[in-house]
Amino acid sequence: MYSQCMSTSETTSDRLIESTRELLWERGYVGTSPKAILERSGAGQGSMYHHFKGKPDLALAAIRRTAEELRATAEGVLGGPGTPYERIEAYLLRERDVLRGCPVGRLTMDPDVIASDELRAPVDETLDAIRELIAKIVEEGKEQGGFAPSLDGEEIAATVLATVQGGYVLARASGSPAAFDAGVRGLLSLLAPR
């Protein structure tokens, strides 16, 4: 009986988190009402407030899960085989749902997320971790001779991440992934070992 109850609870909590993740991606924090979360998850108001203190608490769980997934994906691609250039290339070219935008990056445009240190933390930590990883790969590439010694790992890492995040902006503005792809190809042509 108890384990049955636990299992149902876990499922409801999970469904609430998953629905919140989707809504945050589609409509942002400001555009996501507790009512919309309940409707999408099919959970009752009572069970939402049983599992979470409220929208910020539920959103924090959702943002953390999305951030962890993004980080794991990026680490997987960047930690793959190949030269430093090839690993950055793989990161830039990895399959993305470009027109949906980045589920983590888009949160930075949300005033209520940015105003809350707690909600902003997983966003900041994730982007920072990916940036650090890219910076190390650039430094490796400088040692191996693929990248010019004049390049700064931290700076290039910020450029790589910014090109991806800004690529989403250009793609969504134009309604086509082409602008994202163009930005990535441009960056790769600048980074290419000569």
173 binds a copy of itself, rule: CB under 8 A: yes
Three-state secondary-structure class, residue 176: coil
CB closer to a copy of itself, 143 vs 155: 155
109 binds a copy of itself, rule: CB under 8 A: yes
Among 17, 77, 78, 127, binds a copy of itself (CB under 8 A): 127
Element (H, E) at 96: none
- Smallest distance from the beta carbon of 95 to a copy of itself, in angstroms? 18
- Smallest distance from the beta carbon of 124 to a copy of itself, in angstroms? 5
Choose the stretch contacting a copy of itself; rule: CB under 8 A; options: 49-57, 69-77, 81-89, 179-187: 179-187
Choose the stretch contacting a copy of itself; rule: CB under 8 A; options: 12-20, 22-30, 54-62, 71-79: 22-30
Choose the stretch contacting a copy of itself; rule: CB under 8 A; options: 7-15, 40-48, 58-66, 127-135: 127-135
Answer whether 162's CB lies under 8 Å from 184's CB.
Answer: no
175 binds a copy of itself, rule: CB under 8 A: yes
CB closer to a copy of itself, 52 vs 147: 147
**Residue 40 in tokens:** 């999408």
Which DSSP string corresponds to 16-58? HHHHHHHHHHHHTTTT--HHHHHHHHT--HHHHHHH-SSHHHH
The one-character DSSP state at 60 is H
Element (H, E) at 185: helix 178-191
Other C-beta atoms within 10 Å of 37: how many?
25
